[in-house]
Amino acid sequence: MKTMTRLASILFLFAVLLTAFAGCGQKKEKVVIWTSGEDYKNEYYLSECRKKFPEYDIELVYMTSSAIAAKVIEEGDRCSADLIVSEEYGYLEKCADRLAVLPDFDFSVFLDEIVPTSRKYTPELKNGGCVIVNTKVLADRGIAEPTCYADLLKPEFKGLVSMPSPNSSGTGYMFLRQLVNEWGEDEAFSYFDAFSENVLQYTSSGSGPVKALEAGEVAVGLGMTSQAVVKINGGNKDLKILFFEEGSPYSMYGNAILKKSADRQAVRDVFNYLATDLCRGDNERYFPDQIYKDFAPVVDGFPVGIKYGNMQNDTLAEKERLQAKWDH
């Protein structure tokens, strides 16, 4: 009897060990997020999602806005992404056929004017632009602080200006869109022809100009107000935010589920958490321009009373037309 009992105990222990080893070998369900967001925000999103859902393998991949849309359209159901985050509205419209409708999402919490009619993506942030200068570079070179766009055409700024390309960056495009609206198309394009003579580099992403400013490579960058605030609050006191007479250009960014992944519970779990809790946290931490009906946060160092520019006619068709003209 003792032998039988001992044998039963050994068999039970063996079964427990087999179960444990089998559990260790199980793979977590993977959820892939593509984003055009900034590093600091991506770190926040990824760390919070992984804490919330330890049972999922969550991967976040950065690409430019244009690259995300192009890959989603080209790859279709072969696309490795399940979610798109921090993507400019125009690019989301461009790949809308690949996106899932979100009938169960509560859009009523957002300001009515920013809710997309298709209900295929959720508002995430209002991204405002500004002119950012490195005061140390200006002082070292004896250059006066610019007060208008015309100042950036002066010969002393040659090779000292950076701007995102309107063909790859939503940030770059919003500057082009605004000046076309403010000045007329011919005048705006004539300006950028002259402006290009002073540009060190048209960057592929909206964060490029601030990185060049931090490195002291340029004196002036056309970039995102939120990113400049983060850098200044982080200790870079050489950077200064300016707004010219035309005011701040802006664009809307949103989040979406790929249609091919819409039936997966893990994808819906991550999306709902990201598009509600984390989006609100992002609004509170980095992009305080109001997008919620009941929530208007304040961020230290973020300019108040910003005059926003003329962004009318910001349609997908107009964007593609102006981008094609920019190419030529």
What does the pLDDT look like over 180-235, one tens digit per residue? 999 999 999 999 999 999 999 899 888 899 999 999 999 999 999 999 999 999 99
Q: 127-250+306-327: same fold as 29-126+252-285?
A: yes
Q: Does residue 115 carry a pLDDT above 80?
A: yes
CATH topology of domain 29-126+252-285: D-Maltodextrin-Binding Protein; domain 2 (3.40.190)
Q: Taking residues 275-287, what's their average pLDDT?
A: 94
Question: Residue ranges of the domains in the chain?
Answer: 29-126+252-285, 127-250+306-327
Token pair 């859009």 in the structure block, residue: 107
Closest CA to 248 of 138, 128, 328, 146: 128
CB 146 within 8 A of CB 243: no
Q: Quick: pLDDT tens for 41-81.
A: 999 999 999 999 999 999 999 998 889 999 999 999 999 99
Q: How confident is the model at residue 6 (pLDDT cuts 50, 70, 90)?
A: low
Q: How confident is the model at residue 135 (pLDDT cuts 50, 70, 90)?
A: very high
Q: How confident is the model at residue 168 (pLDDT cuts 50, 70, 90)?
A: confident
Q: Does residue 2 carry a pLDDT above 70?
A: no
Please report the pLDDT score of residue 206 as a whole number.
87
Q: Taking residues 92-114, what's their average pLDDT?
A: 94
- The mean pLDDT of the chain is 91
Rounded to whole angstroms, the Cα distance separating 303 from 129 reads 12
CATH topology of domain 127-250+306-327: D-Maltodextrin-Binding Protein; domain 2 (3.40.190)
CB 247 within 8 A of CB 112: no
Please report the pLDDT score of residue 110 as a whole number.
96
Please report the pLDDT score of residue 72 as a whole number.
97
